[in-house]
Amino acid sequence: MRSGSCLEQVLRAGKFAVTAEMNPPDSADPEAVYERAKVLAPVCDAINATDASGAHVHMSSVGVCALLTRAGFDPIMQVSCRDKNRIAIQGDLLGASAMGVRNVLCLTGDGVQAGDQPEAKPVFDLDSMTLLRTACILRDKGMFLSGRKLDVAPKLFLGAAENPFAPPYDFRPYRLKKKWEAGADFIQTQYCYDLPRLREFMAKVRDLGMHEKLFILIGVGPVRGAKAAEWMRANVPGVWIPDYVIERLKKGGKGEGKRLCVDLIREIREIKGVSGVHIMAFKQEEQVPEIVEEAGLLVRENITAPQ
């Protein structure tokens, strides 16, 4: 056990884990966080708090995680390298651990040109690989990058992202291995709408033995309709949606996006080496409990709701 978090306990017990991404509020009101978390918590093992994804400002990941841990939830704090140098990031990891955050997802981060404030100055002192190594040094060696010793090391379950659906496809399993070597304990992937591509990726992951070393959670999510799918494919970096999926959405009508998500989860669950799913329902959090129930996933009361 690295951290003893709810998510880590579920994964190490061999159960099929469910995590979900929470859309952070454009607000300073903590109730905005709790209302969204209460929708997700009964059906998830951990809740991702995003770190200015897409280079758009929202409530900070560390702030959201502070609120979630205060209320008894198990968050995954996403850390992006775009906005902070190694000094600030190391301090945030210690502070988050002190507040009870046990899961950290290490990301390079989207470029500032992707957001609504492209004049911002990017930092990128670290990237996802060096961030993983930094967190490992803090946790396993009990010291800062400078070599200065910590009084108490943080207990962290470390994650990273991967995208099996973006070229070069042959390189992706090896990149996954590099993230394990850098210190990753678990992986959350980009949206999966292409099952044949996922099966090819996982076959190579198994060939490398990575399915026995990493917990791999596949990203899924409901799409509002065919037009939304076409827009995502054209405008969201790293998202690939095949034509046959868009045709299904066109023919299926209202609610087909949710049905597609449920069907994908059922098939993903049968792929050897997959440890769970990560549900990204942007501004559709209310659908997550329905998706989990209809997909036949077990509901575990690992996360307590705020009183």
DSSP per-residue string spanning the chain: --S--HHHHHHHTT--EEEEEE---SSS-HHHHHHHHHHHGGG-SEEEE-SSGGG---S-HHHHHHHHHHTT--EEEEEESSS--HHHHHHHHHHHHHTT--EEEEE----GGGSS-TTSPP--SS-HHHHHHHHHIIIII-B-TTSPBPSS----EEEEEE-TTSS-GGGHHHHHHHHHHHT-SEEEEEE---HHHHHHHHHHHHHTTGGGTSEEEEEE-----HHHHHHHHHHSTT----HHHHHHHHHH-TTHHHHHHHHHHHHHTTSTTEEEEEE--TT-GGGHHHHHHHTTPPP---SPPP-
Check residue 298 and give its pLDDT: 65
Domains and CATH numbers, the chain: 6-294 (3.20.20.220)
Mean pLDDT in residue range 199-218: 98
What are the φ/ψ torsions at residue 48 (nearest 5 degrees)? -75, 130
Q: What is the pLDDT of residue 58?
A: 96
Q: Is the CB of residue 103 less than 8 Å from the CB of residue 5?
A: yes
pLDDT value of position 300: 59
Structural contact between residues 231 and 224, judged by C-beta atoms closer than 8 angstroms: no
Give residue-wise pLDDT tens across range 223-262. 999 999 999 999 888 899 999 999 999 999 889 999 999 9
Q: What is the pLDDT of residues 80-96, one digit of tens each?
A: 999 999 999 999 999 99
Residue 152 has pLDDT above 70, yes or no: yes
pLDDT value of position 222: 96
Residue 271: both structure tokens together: 């792929």
pLDDT in tens, 264-298: 999 999 999 999 999 999 889 999 999 999 999 96
* Cα 210 from chain centroid (whole Å): 18
Region 174-182: mean pLDDT is: 98
pLDDT band at 307 (very low <50, low <70, confident <90, very high): very low
Q: What's the whole-number mean pLDDT along residues 89-115?
A: 96
Q: Which two tokens stand for residue 219?
A: 């990203």
Per-residue pLDDT reduced to its tens digit, 13-43: 999 999 999 989 999 999 999 999 999 999 9
Locate 304 and state its tokens.
């307590």
Return the pLDDT at 30: 97
Task: Give yes or no for residue 305 having a pLDDT over 80.
Answer: no
Q: What is the reported pLDDT for 265?
A: 98
- Supply φ then ψ for residue 34, to 5 degrees: -65, -40
- The pLDDT tens digits of the residues spanning 45-59 come to 999 999 999 999 999
Give the amino acid at 63: G
CA angle 264, 280, 124 (to 5 degrees): 125
In the chain, what percentage of residues exceed pLDDT 70? 97
At 306, is the pLDDT very low, low, confident or very high (cuts 50, 70, 90)? Answer: very low
What is the spatial distance between Cα 84 and Cα 206, in angstroms, rounded to a whole number?
35
* Residue 36 or residue 305, greater confidence: 36
